[in-house]
């Protein structure tokens, strides 16, 4: 990623490219830089496990212990998004292009897979 200054985008919506630049600016502050792909995959697996725990607490049969921290699904999804962006940045992947390709795949492969809503009546 070319730009290494932190951009304050708190008052506006961020594009995937904005998020990639923001994460890169953050990571670029540190000598260690991005972790290896295997280390990032391990971290992502850990974060997905934390998301699963939150989902299980909210929608499953296992309530939280009284002394357990009140993490949210939103924060866990944010952690996963951060790691996905780190992974993409480290490998030089443009997430906007990756999203375009995956949507093209779904719109082609699964065009008639699901029952579409009737859009005539809203």
- At 39-91, the pLDDT tens digits run 999 999 999 999 999 999 989 888 888 887 777 999 999 999 999 999 999 99
Nearest alpha-carbon partner for 85 in 13, 27, 46, 9: 27
- Residue 76 has what pLDDT? 96
**What SS3 class is residue 8?**
coil
**CB 40, CB 87: distance < 8 Å:** yes
Q: Residue 85 and residue 39: Cα distance in Å, rounded?
A: 14
* Whether residue 4 has pLDDT greater than 50: no
Query: 16-109 has which CATH code?
Result: 1.10.287.1080
- Residue 7 has what pLDDT? 55
Question: What residues have CB less than 8 Å from 98, skipping those under 6 apart?
Answer: 88
Distance of CA 50 to the CA centre of its chain: 14
- Residue 71 has what pLDDT? 77
What residues does each domain of the chain span?
16-109
Report the percent of the chain where pLDDT is more than 70.
89
| Sign for the pseudo-dihedral over CA of 110, 20, 17, 91 | negative
- Orientation of helix 16-27 relative to helix 95-109, angle to 10°: 140
What confidence tier does 110 reach under pLDDT thresholds 50, 70, 90?
Answer: confident
Please give the model's pTM, rounded to 2 decimal places: 0.80
What average pLDDT score do residues 14-20 get?
96
- DSSP category for residue 68: S
């Amino acid at each position: 990623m070319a730009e290494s200054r932190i951009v304050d985008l708190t008052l506006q919506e961020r594009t995937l490219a904005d998020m990639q630049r923001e994460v890169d600016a953050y990571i670029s502050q540190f000598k260690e830089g991005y972790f290896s792909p295997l280390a990032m995959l391990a971290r992502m697996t850990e974060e997905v496990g934390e998301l699963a725990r939150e989902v299980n607490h909210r929608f499953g049969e296992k309530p939280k212990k009284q002394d357990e921290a009140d993490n949210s699904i939103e924060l866990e999804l944010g952690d996963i998004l951060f790691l996905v962006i780190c992974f993409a940045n480290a490998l030089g992947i443009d997430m906007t292009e990756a999203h375009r390709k995956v949507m093209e795949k779904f719109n082609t492969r699964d065009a008639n897979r699901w029952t579409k809503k009737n859009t005539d009546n809203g």
